[in-house]
Chains A and B, each alone.
Chain A
Amino acid sequence: MVFGETRTPEDVRKIIKIAKLHESELTEITQVLRFPGAHKQNDNLRLMLLDDNLLKEIEAGNELVFKGDPEENVVLCTSNKTYDVKEAETSNSILLVPDLLFAASTGLDETIQNNSMDDSDSSFDKSNTSLNKSTESDEGKDPRRIEHKDIIKTFFTYYELKPCKPRLSKLQKLLEPTLYQGQELEYAIDKSKLMNYDSLCDQIQASKHELEQQLERIQAIKIDGYYRLLDFDYEFRVLSYMLDLIEENSWALDRISKEITLDSLKDLVPMSILEAMFRFYTLESVEEDGVQFYKYKEDKICKFLARVLLKSSGKFNLAEFLQAWRDSVPDGMTTDESQLAGIALIDKTSTPQVVWGFSDTDLPEDINERFKLLFQTKTKWTVDQISPYIECYATEKLNVNALLTKYARASTQDGVRVFSAKHMN
C-alpha cells in the first residue's frame, strides 16, 4: 500500500521526457524514492562497517556484544575478537533504501535483447536513434511500472571498527581486593567484591575467549564460583608443599605424580586451588603403563622462587643472592640470570655487584610514565633487558622495537645497542 505523495506512470514518463532521457534505453521499472512520513523514519538506525570476519559472524547468527562503561571507549566483541568502535563522518549523504532494486532486478535481461540491435557507441548517433525510437514507441505502450521506495534514514556518520587488543588491565584491579590467603583468612574478605564470570564479562572489554585466556595467564582460580588471585605468600606456601613432595617421594623430576600430589595435600589446600596450581606449574612428561607423569616448569619455578627471595625491598649482594637462589630450588633444577628478566635488575658496575626486585606489575600503567621511571631506574637498557617491561604495550603493528624507536633514544655502547631517555629531564 502506498500513502502520501505518489507518482503515476504518466508523471514519470513526462519527467523522463523533460530530463531528455529516452524511455526505450531504460529498464522497465522506475523506482520513485521518497522520504516516508515521520512515522516510518527510524532514528534508531546506525550503520556499522564490517570486515570479513564480522560479516561471517553476523551471517552465521553469532552473538556480538558492545562493551564499555560510560567513561570507556566502547568496543565490539565477537566470541574471540575485540574491535575498537569509532564514529566516522562522511561528506556524502548515505540514503538507506531497504527495498531498492538494482539494475539486474528491473527487467534488464529482456530489454538487453530488445536493444541488442543498436550497438553503436557514438552517443550522438545513439541519442538520435533512440530519440526516434522513443517518439514512436512511447505511444500506445504499456504504462511504465512504478515502484515507490522509502528512504528510511539519511546518514552522515557510520561506525568504523578496527581489531584491537582486548583491554585487560582492569582485570587485575578487579581481582586484587579479594586475594585468596587461605581458608583461615576467608572471613576477612569483603564478599561484595567477589567477582564471578558474568560480572567480569560485564566489566572487561574483551571477548570471552580473550578473557578466559587472560584469567589463565594471570592465574585466576575459580573458587566457589568466584575468580580469585592467590596471595603471593599463599602461592609460595602451596608451591612449597608441592615441591617438598618431590624429595619425600624420591621422585625423578620428570616422574611427578599428579594423583599423589593432589591426594597428599588435599587436607591442607582446597582441591580447586591444588588442581589449578598443578596446571600452572607442570607439563606432561611421560606416560608409563597408562599413567601420565608430569614435570615442573623449571624456569617458572626458578623465577617464582627468585621473587620470593627478592620480595623484601632493597638491594642484595648478587653473589649471595645467586647462592641462596640455587639452594632454594629443588635438586636438579638450574637457576640462571636470564630467568630474572622482568622481575629483577642487576647492577654489575657497582662493588659489590647487586640485584634488586623490579617487576613490571609495580610500574605505572601509562606508557610515558613507565618509560620515565624505567630510565630513572637505569639510564641505559638493552632490548632484552627492557622488553619484559614494555611488551604489554606491543601490538601487531607496533612491536617492541617500534615502541623503543618512538619512546627512547638508541645509541651504541661497547658495540651493543642500548636505549636511553629521549629527553633529558
Chain B
Amino acid sequence: MQIYVECERDGEGKVPEWATVELQGLVQMKGEGPDEATVVGDVHYYSKNRHPVLVLGHHVLNGKEQKLEQPMAVLEKIVVGNETKYKVKAIVKKKLLFKSRPKPIISNVAERV
C-alpha cells in the first residue's frame, strides 16, 4: 500500500515555516465551552537578549529561542472517500523552549485579571 505525501506551497513556492513552543509537563484546559477560544498565556520577548518569557496563569517561565536539532515537518492526514494522503503543511525549524522551573508570581496586588 502506498500513501502519497504532497507539499503545500505558499505564494512564493516555499514551504511555510511554523513554530513550536515546548513546555515541560502539560497545559490542561479547564472544561470550558470547547467552541470558544481559551487564553493560555502571554509570550513576551526581552529586547536585550531576545529571550522569551511566558506568563502562564500564576507562573512566569523563562525560556529561549532554539534551533531544532532536526527540523520537523508538520503532516496533515487527509482522507477523501476511501483514499488517504498526507500533506506537508509546514516545516518547523525553530522553537521556544521553556525548560526551567516555572517561577510562581507572588503578588500583593489585590486586583485580579
Q: Which residues of A contact B (CB under 8 A)?
A: 2-7, 11-12, 14-21, 25-27, 30-40, 42, 44-51, 54-55, 58-59, 61, 63-70, 76, 91-100, 102-104, 106, 108, 111-112, 114-115, 148-151, 154, 158, 201-202
| Inter-chain CB contacts under 8 Å: number | 224
Is B45 in contact with A14, judged by CB distance below 8 angstroms? no
Q: How far is the CB of B23 from chain A (nearest CB, A)?
A: 5
CA distance A5 to B105 in the complex (A): 22
B29 lies within 8 A of chain A by Cβ: yes
Is A39 in contact with B45, judged by CB distance below 8 angstroms? no
Is B45 in contact with A5, judged by CB distance below 8 angstroms? no
CA distance A93 to B56 in the complex (A): 14
Is A19 in contact with B23, judged by CB distance below 8 angstroms? no
Which residues of B have CB within 8 Å of A104?
50
Further 5 A-B residue pairs, CB within 8 A, beyond A61-B9, A63-B6, A201-B2? A18-B105, A25-B48, A64-B88, A70-B1, A93-B27
Is B36 in contact with A66, judged by CB distance below 8 angstroms? no
Which residues of A have CB within 8 Å of B83?
none
Is A91 in contact with B44, judged by CB distance below 8 angstroms? no
| 30 contacts across the A-B interface (CB closer than 8 A) | A3-B37, A6-B37, A7-B42, A20-B105, A26-B46, A26-B53, A27-B44, A32-B41, A33-B42, A33-B54, A45-B74, A45-B75, A45-B76, A45-B77, A45-B89, A51-B70, A55-B71, A58-B15, A61-B7, A63-B4, A64-B5, A67-B1, A67-B3, A69-B1, A70-B1, A92-B23, A92-B99, A97-B19, A108-B45, A202-B2
The 10 closest A-B pairs by CB, nearest first: A4-B37, A111-B47, A103-B50, A100-B19, A64-B5, A103-B45, A38-B34, A66-B3, A4-B36, A44-B77
Is B65 in contact with A103, judged by CB distance below 8 angstroms? yes
Is B40 in contact with A35, judged by CB distance below 8 angstroms? yes
Is B37 in contact with A98, judged by CB distance below 8 angstroms? no
Q: How far is the CB of A210 from chain B (nearest CB, A)?
A: 14
CA distance A211 to B6 in the complex (A): 21
Is B65 in contact with A96, judged by CB distance below 8 angstroms? no
Which residues of B have CB within 8 Å of A64?
4-5, 88
Is B38 in contact with A34, judged by CB distance below 8 angstroms? yes
Residue on A nearest B88 in the bound complex, by CB: A58
From known contacts A18-B109, A26-B46, infer whether A59 and B36 are also in contact, taking CB-CB under 8 Å.
no
Is A92 in contact with B55, judged by CB distance below 8 angstroms? no
The one of B23, B29, B55, B75 that contacts A95, using a Cβ cutoff of 8 Å: B23
Which residues of B have CB within 8 Å of A91?
24
CA distance A68 to B14 in the complex (A): 29
Range of interface residues on B (Cβ < 8 Å): 35 or more
Is B19 in contact with A98, judged by CB distance below 8 angstroms? yes
Please indicate which of the listed interface residues A6, A16, A31, A111 has the most CB atoms of chain B within 10 Å of its own CB. Answer: A31
Which residues of B have CB within 8 Å of A95?
20-23, 27
The one of A35, A46, A97, A112 that contacts B75, using a Cβ cutoff of 8 Å: A46
CA distance A336 to B43 in the complex (A): 75
CA distance A76 to B5 in the complex (A): 9
Which residues of B have CB within 8 Å of A12?
42
Is B44 in contact with A55, judged by CB distance below 8 angstroms? no
Q: How far is the CB of A249 from chain B (nearest CB, A)?
A: 48
Is B23 in contact with A93, judged by CB distance below 8 angstroms? yes
Is B42 in contact with A31, judged by CB distance below 8 angstroms? yes
Which residues of A have CB within 8 Å of B55?
15-16, 19, 21
From known contacts A5-B38, A92-B22, A103-B65, infer whether A26 and B50 are also in contact, taking CB-CB under 8 Å.
no
CA distance A345 to B63 in the complex (A): 66
Which residues of A have CB within 8 Å of B39?
5-7, 32-34
Which residues of B have CB within 8 Å of A18?
105, 107, 109, 113
Residue on A nearest B5 in the bound complex, by CB: A64
Residue on B nearest A106 in the bound complex, by CB: B45
Q: Mark B61-75, 1 if CB is under 8 A from A, else 0.
A: 000010000111111
Q: How far is the CB of B42 from chain A (nearest CB, A)?
A: 5
Is A102 in contact with B70, judged by CB distance below 8 angstroms? no
Interface residues of B in 75-89 (CB under 8 A from A): 75-78, 86, 88-89
Which residues of A have CB within 8 Å of B71?
49-50, 55
Residue on B nearest A201 in the bound complex, by CB: B2
CA distance A46 to B20 in the complex (A): 13
Q: How far is the CB of A110 from chain B (nearest CB, A)?
A: 8
Q: How far is the CB of B48 from chain A (nearest CB, A)?
A: 6
Is A15 in contact with B42, judged by CB distance below 8 angstroms? yes
Q: How far is the CB of B96 from chain A (nearest CB, A)?
A: 7
Is A65 in contact with B65, judged by CB distance below 8 angstroms? no
Residue on A nearest B75 in the bound complex, by CB: A46
Is B5 in contact with A63, judged by CB distance below 8 angstroms? yes
CA distance A31 to B40 in the complex (A): 11
Which residues of B have CB within 8 Å of A202?
1-2
Residue on A nearest B105 in the bound complex, by CB: A19
CA distance A45 to B18 in the complex (A): 13
Q: How far is the CB of A73 from chain B (nearest CB, A)?
A: 13
CA distance A312 to B20 in the complex (A): 65
